A and B are shown apart, each in its own frame.
Chain A
Amino acid sequence: MGIVSPGFQGRPRSSQPSLPPGQYLTEDFPVLSAGPTPRVSLDNWEFVVTTEAGAEHRWSWSEMLALPNETPTVDIHCVTRWSKLQTNWKGVSLDTLLAEVETAADYALVHSYGGYTTNLPLEDLLDGQAWLVHQYEGGELPAEHGGPARLLVPHLYFWKSAKWVRGIQLMLTDEPGFWETAGYHDYGDPWREQRYQGD
């Protein structure tokens, strides 16, 4: 379906790399967020995983850096339609962080400094699919891009890769986060164009 727009040709297209539908390529790194950029000092920074039973697992900045770090190179896709290919990051796999955590939870609600939240199925954070990253392209992660540390879940739209992340709450039932409550999709698969609720 769809109607042809009279006189619209689109940008000249050569052999575009395969992008999810509706996405276009950018070389920039656009910034999108709902409010001011929080500034988090490394002395106070911590990352806390809380299980459904209330058990807490905490890492300070230096404890997090001391864990095995990985350097994923991934494509990222923003729901506002830009995609960026082959971005380089450094951080700790969620498999490492969650290895010792005992849980029966199916869902995770990610919390950020500044109050932002986003929800994901727990399985989307495991099996090499997600990282807690603190470096971007070889330098420390700028605050406007979520520094000192953000989540990186490249197979979902980028709002799921919570900036300024401070912890993950594991839950038996799903609960929508900030953008999900404002009308965005609960899951957010770019390849299925799950942009808004009801997609």
Chain B
Amino acid sequence: MARAAVPGRLNRGASWRVAQLVESREETGTARTLVLEVPDWPGHTPGQHVDVRLTAPDGYRAERSYSIASAAAGNRIELTVQRVPDGEVSPYLIDVFSVGDPVEIRGPVGGWFVWRSADPAPVLLVAGGSGIVPLMAMVRARRAAGSRVPFRLIYSVRTPRDAYFADELRQRARDDGGLDVSYVYTRETPDGWPSAAHRIGVADVNSHGWPAELEPTCFVCGPTGFVETVADILVALGHDSRRVKTERFGPTGG
């Protein structure tokens, strides 16, 4: 029965396809958005990811997962990749991979950390760093579906320059109606910001999230330490842990 929740995506997801980079733009000093054209893309649900496979001339391969940043639209998907210094795959995708180049991808993958526009529950999104990527897909899909489901996004970044999608989020918070965006800065705040730089804590989640009584679906994504902290706070604030969905990127971080 539970299987019905993942529509016939599974087997389609299992095969590798050759995608082509059609556009690449700088997101921040350390992140790039890659626009891929994927023949016969089956569509995706926001929150899903793809696996990307690189092959060296000697046959060596490396695979990593990247969340899809875009709402479903035809045969194009967007990934937003953060450079991990000393990384094997992310520096290639940011510095070497060029418009016109092919890349193998497989997906969409993942049926748990997803938001479906038919779900009427309010949504709380909490992102740390590049953890914004799958949550941005949800914000974009909400807009594409013309949904009025109330969304709140709390986005933790080191400095204002590290925020992904800043202009678009500003515009959506103004135009989309029912989307609130708030920031937590961990290293450096904008001028005149009312609080000092700090790591996300109970007060941030309490004042910018939803009260537990409203039974929001919570999506938390970022480095492990961040996700642990936020998920614990949400449970302490009375949110049912079954409605707190988490995705962790990157190293242990704590």
Interface residues of A (CB under 8 A from B): 2-11, 13, 22, 24, 26, 28-38, 80-81, 114-115, 144, 176, 178-179, 181-183, 196-199
**Cβ B244 vs Cβ A35 within 8 A:** yes
**Cβ A37 vs Cβ B231 within 8 A:** yes
**Cβ B3 vs Cβ A36 within 8 A:** no
B14 in contact (CB, < 8 A): yes
**Cβ A32 vs Cβ B55 within 8 A:** no
The number of A-B residue pairs with CB atoms under 8 Å apart is 128
**Cβ B246 vs Cβ A33 within 8 A:** yes
Interface residues of B (CB under 8 A from A): 2-3, 5-6, 9-11, 13-14, 16, 18, 53-57, 59-65, 88, 92, 96-98, 101-104, 109-113, 224, 228, 231-232, 234-235, 241-242, 244-246, 248, 250-252
Residues on B with beta carbons closer than 8 Å to the beta carbon of A197: 10-11, 13-14
Residues on B with beta carbons closer than 8 Å to the beta carbon of A81: 63-65
Task: Tell me which of B6, B55, B224, B245 contacts A30 (CB under 8 A).
Answer: B224
Residues on A with beta carbons closer than 8 Å to the beta carbon of B61: 2, 10, 22
Label chain B's interface by main secondary structure. mixed
Residues on B with beta carbons closer than 8 Å to the beta carbon of A198: 10-11, 13-14
Residues on A with beta carbons closer than 8 Å to the beta carbon of B9: 183
**Cβ B57 vs Cβ A4 within 8 A:** yes
- In the complex, the chain A residue whose C-beta lies closest to that of B107 is A196
**Cβ B14 vs Cβ A35 within 8 A:** no
**Cβ B111 vs Cβ A114 within 8 A:** no
- In the complex, the chain A residue whose C-beta lies closest to that of B98 is A6
Chain A to chain B contacts (Cβ below 8 Å), 24 pairs? A2-B55, A6-B96, A6-B102, A8-B55, A8-B96, A9-B57, A13-B60, A28-B252, A30-B250, A30-B252, A32-B248, A33-B248, A35-B231, A35-B246, A36-B241, A37-B228, A37-B232, A144-B228, A176-B2, A181-B3, A196-B10, A196-B109, A198-B14, A199-B14
